Chain A
Amino acid sequence: MARFILRRTLQALIVLLVMSFVIYGLIGLMPGDPVDMMAAGNPGATPEVIAHLRAIYGLDQPLALRYWHWLLAALTGDFGFSRTHSQPVLEVLAPALWQTCKLMVISFVVSVLLSFTLGIIAARKPGGVVDGLISLFAFAGISVPVFWLALMMILVFAVDLHWFPASGISTLGEGGFIDQARHLVMPVTTLALATTGGFIRFVRASMIEVMRMDHVRTARAKGATEARVVLIHAFRNALIPVVTVMALSFGVLFNGALLTETMFAQPGMGKMIYDAILGNDFNLALVGLLFATLVTLASNLVADLAYGWLDPRISLK
């Protein structure tokens, strides 16, 4: 077990290291570089001055060397300065992370509850009318473009009905709990709808499989109530693959969060990364992307551990 965690952690670190190099290289390929931007705001910058600036900032050095210097600094906790926020990168990251956490955790809980309920109901009579409707809902959730779903939510519930605010996290001058909650309703609904579809399909498939097993028939034969059979005997076993899939879906959830935050102007990680890329804020984009990768890798590890914990038959090597 300990060996398993150790080996997987090492693997994750290697992936992270490789990714940091790839992203570092890619970010260098984005339009403009820091010196171009300084020069753009300063008409007096002659080519000599620009070359000098490049030398000062080390931009004339080869990629591998620049990356090495960045890595050494990063390992000591120095991730540089955010150009657009004029703050150290980590200070920009922390509040954005908190915002994204709120959005993702609430959406995830909503999505899990919804998919357990609908998935179990659908699995009761596979092929029936109710199952068909729930399947349609699930497929719709998988297939809808998240940004367009957000647009439609804005169109209907903000523009037409005026029920919820279209963007931001709080009204200026208010910002109480109710106000903040009202601002979260549409982003959470959008993100939850976008992730529920896949979950429902997994819960349904897993439940159908378990309901066919002998121990379920035995439970029925012994006279257990239907609710007990479904919720205790079947659901517990159906959970095992489902939990893994859910933990593994962190990447999908994060993709969705990026779009939801961008559409509803929520200052979270996703919008921060997007704005950083648009605004040529290299340091911030790099750290944001690496952080997203790190969390995804960590959630995959948790998924594997949860699998072993829920199903003692599986031994982790």
Chain B
Amino acid sequence: MSATTDLAPPPRTDAAIGPWRLRWRRFRRHRTGMASLVILALLVLFALAAVPMQHLLGIDPDATDLLSRFDPPSAAHWLGTDDAGRDELIRLMVGGQISLLVGLVATAIGGVIGLLIGVTAGYFGGRLDALLMRITDGMIALPLLPLLIVLGAVDLTKLGFSSDFAHSTAASFWRIIIIISIVDWTSIARLVRAATLSIKDRDYVRAARASGAGASYVMPAHVLPNVATPIIVALTLTVGRVILFESVLSFLGFGITPPTPSWGNMLNNAQELVTTAPGLAVYPGLLIFITVIAVNFLGDGLQAAFDPRSEQ
């Protein structure tokens, strides 16, 4: 019987590794996806470097100095200064924090809205499903940008907020997050609904329901794990879209209010800057562009890793 005991352990099969390890393995082979992940990590580090750099160079990102407007790059100001004499590099870093944070938080909130609507519609079906899906269709049919501009133009004092709060940075930060997340949840909702529909009548889900499990148990335990991968891909792509929306709204003056920088509002008067200081018109947009393209390639890589059939 020694022949069997001497056998090496069987090679680990895909099933033994677990689905997430396997997905990670496939993702690591996706070159553009991995490159994007690295670029995004670097961008996050760049944004987080704002505070240490401020101390290192002794610069306040909001301090204006009208005597040194449009200074060329120097040892004190590595990328020069902007139209108010503020350090461009530090503002790009702080602006990055704001832009990335808006992208992540608005996506998270929109994702939760989409998840709730999608699961509810798919699980309960019937009239509720029809109503929710008509609302979703209606949302998808809307011209989003003009609508976001109107939402961004809303005067918060007319909603009963104090004038101080209405003009604060915090208000502009949360307002842009809320207005983006209440319009950008439709793709998640549709995805989740379709997945819920296909799962809710599988035998194991029926068995769970027959044993008395209610919606509050079945959804997190059986439905969500099965829709996790397409949702992660869709959420990734949403982050890119949200960052673009943030930049556009802030650029047009309906987003993050200056002096707090965001990559979008740093381009506020870029149309005039194009002739005087082209660099100031280039850097913030370039960072938005690199971030969003990396996010989109990351989504592509995740898609390939999660759904191997899509890559054949």
A273 to B153, CA, bound (A): 12
Query: Which A residues touch B145, using CB under 8 A?
Result: 254-255, 258-259
Interface string of B134-149 (1 = CB under 8 A from A): 1001100111111101
Within B127-168, which residues are at the interface with A (CB < 8 Å)? 134, 137-138, 141-147, 149-151, 153-155, 158-159
A288 (CB) vs chain B CBs: closest residue: B146
Q: How far is the CB of A85 from chain B (nearest CB, A)?
A: 18
Q: Provide the A134-149 mask, 1 if CB < 8 A to any CB of B, else 0.
A: 0000011011111110
- Contact partner of B285 (CB less than 8 A), chosen from A15, A30, A151, is A151
From the candidates A15, A30, A139, A154, name the one contacting B150 in the complex (CB within 8 A).
Answer: A30
Partner-contacting stretch, out of A74-82, A102-110, A215-223, A289-297: A289-297
Interface 9-mer from B59-67, B199-207, B243-251: B243-251
Question: A154-B274, A155-B278, A259-B248 are contacts. A30–B153 as well, Cβ < 8 Å?
Answer: yes
Q: Tell whether, in the assembled complex, residue A142 and residue B289 are in contact, meaning their CB atoms are under 8 Å apart.
A: no
In the complex, residue of chain B having the shortest beta-carbon distance to the beta carbon of A212: B312
Asked if B146 and A297 make an inter-chain contact with CB atoms under 8 angstroms apart, the answer reads: no
Cβ-defined contact, B293 with A19, below 8 A: no
Residues A29 and B159 in contact, CB atoms below 8 Å apart: yes
- Which residue from chain A places its CB closest to the CB of B264 in the assembled complex? A145
Docked-complex contact B143 and A148, CB < 8 angstroms: no
Contact A155 B293 (CB under 8 A): no
**Is A285 an interface position by the 8 A CB rule?**
yes
A139 adjacent to B297 (CB under 8 Å): yes
Q: In the complex, A32 Cα to B270 Cα: how many Å? A: 28
CB <8 Å contact, A26 and B150: yes
Residue among B253, B267, B296 with max Cβ neighbours from chain A (10 Å): B296
Q: Are A151 and B158 touching (Cβ within 8 A)?
A: no
B92 contacts A by Cβ under 8 Å:
no
Q: Is B282 an interface residue (CB 8 A)?
A: yes
Q: Which residues on the B side are within 8 Å of A251 (C-beta)?
A: 141-144
A 38-59 binary contact with B (CB < 8 Å = 1; else 0): 0000000000000000000000
Residues of B within 8 A of A145 (CB): 244, 247-248, 251, 264, 285, 288-289, 292
Task: Contact check, A31 vs B153: say whether CB atoms are below 8 A apart.
Answer: yes
Cα–Cα, bound, A270→B147 (Å): 12
A27 at the interface (CB under 8 A from B): yes
Are A274 and B252 closer than 8 Å at their CB atoms? yes
- Which single residue of chain A is at the shortest CB-CB distance from B292? A143
Closest Cβ–Cβ distance, residue B57 to chain A (whole Å): 27
Docked-complex contact A296 and B285, CB < 8 angstroms:
no
Give the Cβ gap from B173 to chain A, nearest Cβ, in Å: 19
Residue of A whose beta carbon sits closest to that of B152: A277
A14: chain B residues at CB < 8 Å are 138
**A30 and B143 contact, Cβ closer than 8 Å, known pairs A142-B296, A143-B293:** no
Q: Cα distance A126–B145 when bound, in Å?
A: 34
Closest A residue by C-beta to B36:
A139
Interface residues in A2-23 by Cβ distance below 8 A to B read 11-12, 14-15, 18-19, 23
**Interfacial residues of chain A within 172-186, with CB under 8 A of chain B in the complex:** none
Q: Of residues 143 to 165 in A, which have CB atoms within 8 Å of B's CB atoms?
A: 143-148, 151-152, 154-155, 159
Please measure, in the bound complex, the distance between the C-alpha atom of A304 and the C-alpha atom of B190, giving whole angstroms.
18
CB-defined contacts of A146 to chain B, threshold 8 Å:
248
> Closest residue of chain A to B149, judged by CB?
A277
- Contact residue among B141, B264, B270, B292 (Cβ-Cβ distance under 8 Å from A151): B270
**Which residue on chain A has the smallest CB distance to residue B145?**
A255
Task: Please state if B271 and A263 are interface contacts (CB–CB under 8 Å).
Answer: yes
Q: Check: B13 CB closer than 8 A to any chain A CB.
A: no
* Bound CA span A288–B150, Å: 12
Decide if A15 touches B138 in the complex (CB within 8 Å): yes
| A15 CA to B244 CA, complexed, in Å | 26
Cα-based distance from A289 to B278 in the complex (angstroms)? 34
A293 touches B289 (CB 8 A): no
CB pair B141 A143 closer than 8 Å: no
Q: Contact between A148 and B267 (Cβ–Cβ < 8 Å)?
A: yes
Q: Are B271 and A30 in contact (CB under 8 A)?
A: no
Q: Does B4 contact A (CB under 8 A)?
A: no
Q: How far is the CA of A285 from the CA of B151 in the complex (A)?
A: 13
Q: A255 to B292, alpha carbons, bound, how many Å? A: 17
Knowing A151-B267, A151-B270 are in contact, say whether A26-B151 is a contact too (CB < 8 A): yes
Q: Give the 10 A-B residue pairs with the shortest CB-CB distance, closest first.
A: A148-B285, A143-B293, A255-B145, A143-B292, A31-B155, A15-B138, A292-B143, A29-B154, A30-B153, A26-B150
- Extra contacts, 16 of them, besides A15-B138, A31-B158 (Cβ < 8 A), are A12-B141, A18-B138, A28-B158, A29-B159, A142-B292, A144-B292, A145-B247, A145-B251, A145-B288, A151-B267, A151-B270, A155-B278, A251-B142, A251-B143, A285-B150, A289-B150
- B residues with a Cβ closer than 8 A to A are 134, 137-138, 141-147, 149-151, 153-155, 158-159, 240, 244, 247-248, 251-253, 264, 267, 270-271, 274-275, 278, 281-282, 284-285, 288-289, 292-293, 295-297, 300
13 contacts between A and B (CB under 8 A): A18-B138, A27-B150, A29-B155, A30-B150, A30-B154, A31-B155, A139-B296, A142-B240, A142-B293, A142-B296, A151-B270, A159-B275, A258-B145
